[in-house]
Copies of this chain bind each other. A is one copy, B any other.
Amino acid sequence: MRSVNTPRPATRTDVARLAGVSDAVVSYVVNSGPRPVAAATRARVLDAIHALNYRPNATARALSRGMSDVFGMLVVDARNPFFAQLVYAANRESSAHGHSLMTVSTGGSPLSLDEQVDELVARRVRGLISVHAFTPRQIERLRGQGIHVVVINQPAATPGIPSVRVDLPAGARTAVEHLIGHGYRRIGFVGAAEYRSAREHGWADAVSAAGLPLGPRVLTEYSLDGGYDAGLQLLQLEHRPDAVFVSSDQMSMGLLAAVHAAGLRVPEDLALASFDGVTESAYLWPPLTTVRQPVAEITAAAVAALVADDDDVDVVLPTELVVRRSCGCPP
């Protein structure tokens, strides 16, 4: 099924030249080692791989066998842009290693998590990237079938289960400390009941460490509508907060809409710091000050763990505060 007039396939040297790195660095990216590669360099190499349609040998070998190794990915709901960006990055990273990626959105299905995993196992996936926590028994069963697993973005690791995660409380603390630095004294929190602990603890720690009382707390669901409802609740309070930390960019988008609809302004009437750092956060009005989760690094570490079949992986990645206008900083 290949095109007849295919030009010469790109080589590793072509990729290296376009990315401005050595051949060895291309190899480190494709093989996840043996040496580490800085995130910015890795991004340049991945860009060059895609621009040139470069196929590492693993892909070529797999194609000549008629089937390559496929990874599966489980996300809750890829309508949340954070999950959509995780899937996209995992796809790029997997294919740079010669693997296809099949994604299953668990949220929309009446099947249980076990049943959805069984489906992927029956399709002979070799590795599984999951945003759902697994029990040790589930992991044992998957290993018995030769499937490697890595759990990403859970608040904590479970011993014996490979894990790539982000320091959520530290990220939340940074954002709240930034709001405190602006002089806000009544800082609220918006989060989701089921995942509240890590981000909420970061918020509470930062507020308490500054000697301030905890502002109002709204627990809702991770959705646009949840964020909108939280905004309505905050705006209806007799004693409104002057700033709020919101647990996801998707919720922040909903909350912004509630503030606009009420004829109020961010940050003048309510300052906002958010969490995730999805691409969309730069395009909202006002642009969001937000804690960026390192999506490319999360997926690179996850794929590296699958490729290396290392069961002792527990990677904890730092976040980065991206300062824009919603907190009150100048443009």
Contact = CB atoms under 8 A, between A and B. Distances in A.
Interface string A278-302: 0110111111000000000000000
A104 B102 contact: yes
A81 interface: yes
A89 to B, nearest CB: 8
Interface in A34-71: 49-50, 53-55, 59, 63, 66-68, 70
Nearest to A52: B110
A2 B206 CA distance: 42
A254 B107 CA distance: 28
A1 B70 contact: no
Contacts of A181: none
A103 B108 CA distance: 13
A103 B100 contact: no
A114 interface: yes
A88 B81 contact: no
Given A123-B70, A287-B257, A115 B1 contact: yes
Interface string A112-136: 1011101110111000000000000
Q: How many copies does the complex hold?
A: 2
A139 B195 CA distance: 45
Contacts of A261: 331
B79 A100 contact: no
B88 A118 contact: no
A20 to B, nearest CB: 20
A257 B281 CA distance: 11
Interface residues of A, number: 67
A10 to B, nearest CB: 9
Nearest to A62: B119
A102 B104 CA distance: 5
Contact of A123 (B101, B111, B123): B123
Nearest to A109: B95
A18 interface: no
Nearest to A96: B110
A271 to B, nearest CB: 17
A304 interface: no
B88 A228 contact: no
7 contacts: A50-B110, A78-B88, A79-B279, A95-B108, A100-B111, A257-B287, A260-B285
